[in-house]
Structure 1
Amino acid sequence: MQFLPTELPGVFVIEPEPKADDRGLFARTYCRDEFAAHGLCTDWAQCNVSFNAKAGTLRGMHWQAAPHEEVKLVRCTSGAAHDVVADLRPGSPTYGKWVAVEITAENRRAVYIPGGFAHGFQALADGTELFYQMSAFYVPDAARGARWDDPALGITWPACAKRIIAPRDLSFPDLPI
């Protein structure tokens, strides 16, 4: 695997190194020793799937407040997604900054998201599914969110004919940046 750092310290794009032959390919997508060697989380409490029937579905920006912060390892198992991570760690020199990565079933990339970062994505194809490995259990009282179009973040989302967003995600307040 290749661990590619982003502009946000601690956020990585992880690319598998497939071994291909006439049958197809084989690639490692997680190795506890390799993650530990990079100082990354190796203890996953739960795994989740987000299936998105329609392109234009937008979910986010979500995180859990301390002491229930979650580390996430997110990959696309079907379709394609514009995946966004924003730094919301108080006192961080990159507070309020964000990065976007296209993750697809074809490119097999994963995004590693440390605690203290918000995460969201927009499905780029019908039938897009994301698989999440999570370091912490979901705690409803610790769930937080920022609006996808919060001017304080200024995230650039791909244009689409119709965006599908849950009422909860539309109701998040502006961040105090």
Structure 2
Amino acid sequence: MIDGVVFQKLEKYCDDRGTFMEIVREDQHLLRRFGQMSVSMSYPGVIKAFHYHREQDDLWYFVSGNAQVVLHDLRESSSTYRETDVYYMGEENPSVLLIPKGVAHGYRLLGIRPAVIVYLTTHTYNRERPDEERLPWNDPDIGFDWSTRFR
């Protein structure tokens, strides 16, 4: 696992009224500070990758749909520098993913339905000075193969 990344399985409580899950709690101390909570919907097959932040950490949770999430460590001082991790998140695997600053991240939607992601960040978005650096989805330095392989 990339140094500083936290992947946490969520506990779902069910009864005859429906379900309940705590996604993140202040007493878990996952975020150094809270800046913004956002939601995004993506269509099936879409790849949103790669970008990273110099200042902010992200905390991701997929509300609906399923995604293949790819992280690549760009932090030269990290013990996991240039390592790549893959996580499967969404309805079939409810989980939360903490992505530290300096770790490139992106995702590919799986299945035939749109997916909704809710994400929290440690800083608010600044249109004049966005803390967002972009890399191509097929960046040769990362070298990730986004295709699905069947065994």
TM-score, normalised on structure 1?
0.74
Cα distance between partner residues in 1 of 2:24 and 2:81:
28
- Superposed CA deviations along residues 114-163 of structure 1, whole A, max 9, x for unmatched, are 11111100111331111111111224453201222112112232339xxx
Cα distance between partner residues in 2 of 1:133 and 1:96:
25
The answer to whether the 8 Å contact 2:60/2:120 transfers is yes
Structure 1 stretches of at least 4 aligned residues deviating more than 3 Å after TM superposition = 139-142
Alignment partner of 2:88 out of 77, 98, 102: 102
Per the alignment, residue 8 of structure 2 pairs with: 14
Identity %: 29
Secondary structure class of the residue paired with 1:76: strand
The structure in which a higher percent of residues are helix is 1
The answer to whether the 8 Å contact 2:50/2:136 transfers is yes
The 1:141/1:71 distance shift into structure 2, 3 A limit, reads: closer
Per the alignment, residue 97 of structure 2 pairs with: 111
Q: How far apart are 1:42 and its partner, in Å?
A: 5.0
AA aligned to 1:91 is S
- Superposed CA deviations along residues 77-127 of structure 1, whole A, max 9, x for unmatched, are 111111111111122221111111111124221111111111100111331
Secondary structure class of the residue paired with 2:3: coil
Where does structure 1 lack aligned partners over 5 or more consecutive residues? Answer: 1-6, 161-177
The answer to whether the 8 Å contact 1:32/1:42 transfers is no
AA aligned to 2:125 is Y
Q: How far apart are 1:44 and its partner, in Å?
A: 1.7
Where does structure 2 lack aligned partners over 5 or more consecutive residues? Answer: none
**Is 1:142 aligned with 2:131?**
yes
The 1:98/1:141 distance shift into structure 2, 3 A limit, reads: same
The answer to whether the 8 Å contact 1:85/1:117 transfers is yes
Per the alignment, residue 87 of structure 1 pairs with: 73
Cα distance between partner residues in 1 of 2:103 and 2:80:
11
The answer to whether the 8 Å contact 2:23/2:61 transfers is no
